[in-house]
Structure 1
């Protein structure tokens, strides 16, 4: 029964391919020899992603000879004359957690999570360090 349906489908496709309804007629051709084709020029301004300046109320963090800017738990870095959002580099330290950070315990170790990044407190030194996502 399946073979019969395949042959019916093939026959229908062959008949449609030979039908004059499917074949293109020359009167619908877009190109005319006596008229040049009309081309519309549309100006598209390509803008680099990011912001023109760092966000208001930001904190500047220097790390590995580069500047990062932190605002509302989000990290930004200058790139091509703009400021683009990036993940904080692992190992960078900050004295204060971003607003909205919450505690997360993984295998008995306390981390702080803010905006998808994880921080770990180093009490003796008095700073938080950005660490890789803990496995758990």
Structure 2
């Protein structure tokens, strides 16, 4: 009796197993499961990488591409002061300037204008009387007033003292005359140094030819001869400068 019960139980278990296999409830191990399990971390990593990028973007430390990391910087305008306008402030000095130290102050001279430091910039000023330069600015005008030659650029007057040109007070307006002014243009683009040398050598030659020295009162001649001698000197200067490539009017 017991044997029949055990046999019946075994048959029932076998039938149940057969039924589960036929319905797919009990699946045999598949050799591909290992590969599928190895692939699943890749999908998870892909998801985490996406989350990491999003977190970096949200955190503000992630910048995508150079077009986002470099922003267009606004250009700073450069202030240009009109020529001769005093009080104008410029951010930097023009090229080719000269520095002149006068009475414990530094002045910067370029193309007829004078500058002084003004905070982190420079301001155009009137040069003080007594300040001297070795070369006159291009475009100056020569005036002879009361027998004394003056060299004027804009409203600044210079007189020659040795090898220097010194800033002086403007002569009286009643005495000012520009009838014998020389306009000298460097037609061959001569440098400032070359212009100064040529003018000085022509001055010496003109003085030797005419006996008139504009650096002396009345030209170093009698007052009655000053006007005629000055005209001769101007013609001599013109001839000398034109021979050296200058246009003189």
How far has the Cα of 1:73 moved from its partner?
0.3
Distance 2:117 2:106 in 1: 8
What is the match of residue 169 of structure 2?
A: 132
Is the 2:151–2:157 contact (alpha carbons within 8 Å) kept by the matching residues of 1? Answer: yes
Aligned to 2:154: 115
What is the Cα-based RMSD across aligned positions, in Å?
Answer: 1.8
| Structure 2: distance between partners of 1:74 and 1:49 | 11
- Aligned 8 A contact 1:74 1:115 in 2: no
| Partner of residue 143 from structure 2, selected from 94, 97, 104 | 104
**Runs (4+) off by over 2 Å:** none
TM-score by length of 1: 0.60
Counterpart position of 1:53: 92
Unmatched 5+ stretches in structure 2: 1-78, 80-86, 176-249
Q: Which has the higher helix share?
A: 2
Q: Distance in 2 between matches of 1:75 and 1:65?
A: 16
Which structure has more RCO (C-alpha within 8 Å, separation ≥ 6)? 1
TM-score, L = length of structure 2: 0.34
Partners of 1:49 and 1:110 lie apart in 2 by 31
Structure that is richer in strand per residue? 1
Rg comparison, structure with higher value: 2
Aligned residues: 88
Instruction: Decide whether the 8 Å contact of 2:88 with 2:124 is kept in 1.
Output: no
Query: 1:74: which partner in 2?
Result: 113
Cα offset, 1:49, TM superposition: 4.7
Structure 1: gaps spanning 5 or more residues: 1-46
Q: Go from structure 1 to structure 2 and tell me whether the alpha carbon gap of 1:111 and 1:99 turns closer, same or farther (over 3 Å shift).
A: same
